[in-house]
Structure 1
């Protein structure tokens, strides 16, 4: 059974293999608290609940270009009130929109806090659903991305996943427009 912050509380999970690798939503039974991502899957068996199953259903629709806004109960693991504020603002970045860390800080009402904006993206426990992939460097280059291979944000496969997520949204947005 997955652990979060060393806790042995009752946690539930599902998993799915996608074009981006394995995704595993983890729930406390009431809210999604984490979304893990790797290339090889997990040895532990899944113990699914309604939240983890619904997360999988919404991820499938999102990755098919059919869902533009997630509707899930969220309680990101290990986040202070300030951390949750940044994540809540991140969730408001419109589908298909790309902004720099500085623009994200300004969007969040925290002009001049680009580093804090970047830190919130780097420590995001629920990637995709909190769309940190929509935030890029000041020069518009992709920067790093933590979702994927061994949680290494500079790994080329992870940066390629960020590019693919942005391309998915750009293509879906164009198809809808």
Structure 2
């Protein structure tokens, strides 16, 4: 049985939360997400969840560019895990495309499957799926609360001029 712990964090955009197992951060709620399920449960905090909450707060304040946290994505399929591991390597302030990521995972032409894997990301921001855009540069889907508006916010926070990337 895994121990599960949780912590909340507060930003100028609202309150979010993190959940962790013994293996790492397994869930991130972004500001604006519904925390009612978390409110109905009783979790203790851990050093890891407190550290994650602090790092997320610093990220949203514009101070933190690189997370130093283990993640637990073991509940996902192997393909999803591979896509998310590669996504973690996308540097702060930059972006890549679904197609480029598909090529790196060894499945050229599987851009839609990559999009599906990113949509299953349980730890957004820590695994920066917002840094993946369409080959045209367009900001397509973002599964977190706020959708495209949250994706635009996160990219803007990192100084990515997504409008300049867009090809007509």
Runs of 4+ in 1 over 6 A off after TM superposition: none
Given the alignment of the two structures, is residue 103 of structure 1 paired with residue 103 of structure 2, yes or no? no
TM-score by length of 2: 0.82
Which residue in the other structure is 2:84 paired with?
Answer: 87
TM-score by length of 1: 0.78
Q: Distance in 2 between matches of 1:130 and 1:113?
A: 20
Q: Gaps (5+ residues) in structure 2?
A: 161-168
Query: Would you say the 8 A contact 2:29–2:35 is kept in 1?
Result: no
Please give the root-mean-square deviation of Cα atoms over the aligned residues, in Å.
2.1
Which residue in the other structure is 2:58 paired with?
Answer: 61
Query: Would you say the 8 A contact 2:9–2:54 is kept in 1?
Result: no
Which residue in the other structure is 2:153 paired with?
Answer: 164
Q: Gaps (5+ residues) in structure 1?
A: 1-7, 149-156, 172-177
Query: Would you say the 8 A contact 2:8–2:15 is kept in 1?
Result: yes
Q: Deviations over 1:90-114 (max 9, x none)?
A: 0001111122211222244432221
Alignment of 1:1-177 (within 5 A): 9-37=2-30, 38-42=32-36, 43-44=39-40, 45-76=42-73, 78-148=75-145, 157-170=146-159
